């Protein structure tokens, strides 16, 4: 199926932001790689920041339903914890750029106001809390989500990261059950 112009631009921007970082990528580069004009980027997204918002929304629309579905399928708390660890591992294995992008976005949340990033993280935490912990204040959900994101970032720094995944499932299931 052929991508629409906005989908093509979002896909290209997502790849380039993950590979080079948001600050290092220009709309000119995105247009060149996507084989569109810069005016099309302005037409669909107004600004580079608007394009970033669309990239975040696109990532959230892909990731959040998977997270919710997999957690909902698991029966026990331990199975749900194993499921969330598996989701992070599978996403890491399937597309390293997804995690690189996620960490680029989290880093940006510290340096500039980007409400879409905060909203995405809040939605992840809420799904984890609703499906696993059921707390009024989702402290454990925040800790688990943050731990998995941080551990995934750490794994990405290792050249043989894929050899270190088994212990992540084991530790997550023991610690949070």
User: Per residue in 61-114, pLDDT tens?
Assistant: 988 999 999 999 998 888 888 888 888 777 777 777 777 787 777 777 777 777
What is the distance between the alpha carbons of residues 162 and 66, in angstroms, rounded to a whole number?
Answer: 21
pLDDT at res. 16: 94
Nearest one of 100, 117, 98 to 20, comparing CA atoms: 100
pTM to 2 decimal places: 0.83
CA 146 to chain centre: 12
Nearest one of 174, 157, 173, 161 to 86, comparing CA atoms: 173
What is the distance between the alpha carbons of residues 152 and 114, in angstroms, rounded to a whole number?
Answer: 22
Which of the 8 DSSP states describes residue 4? P
Answer yes or no: are the C-beta atoms of 99 and 156 closer than 8 Å.
yes
- Fold topology of 55-176: Tetracycline Repressor; domain 2 (1.10.357)
């Amino acid at each position: 199926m052929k991508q629409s112009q906005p989908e093509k631009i979002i896909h290209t921007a997502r790849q380039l932001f993950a590979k080079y970082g948001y600050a290092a990528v220009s709309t000119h580069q995105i247009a060149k790689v996507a084989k569109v004009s810069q005016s099309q980027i302005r037409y669909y997204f107004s600004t580079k920041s608007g394009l970033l918002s669309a990239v975040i929304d696109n990532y959230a629309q892909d990731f959040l339903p998977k997270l919710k579905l997999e957690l909902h399928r698991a029966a026990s708390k331990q199975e749900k914890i194993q499921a969330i660890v598996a989701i992070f591992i599978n996403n890491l294995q399937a597309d390293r750029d997804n995690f690189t992008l996620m960490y680029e976005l989290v880093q940006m949340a510290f340096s500039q106001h980007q409400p879409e990033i905060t909203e995405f993280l809040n939605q992840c935490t809420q799904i984890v809390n609703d499906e696993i912990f059921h707390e009024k204040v989702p402290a454990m959900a925040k800790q688990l989500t943050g731990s998995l994101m941080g551990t995934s970032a750490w794994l990405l720094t290792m050249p043989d990261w894929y050899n270190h995944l088994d212990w992540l499932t084991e530790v997550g299931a023991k610690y949070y059950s």
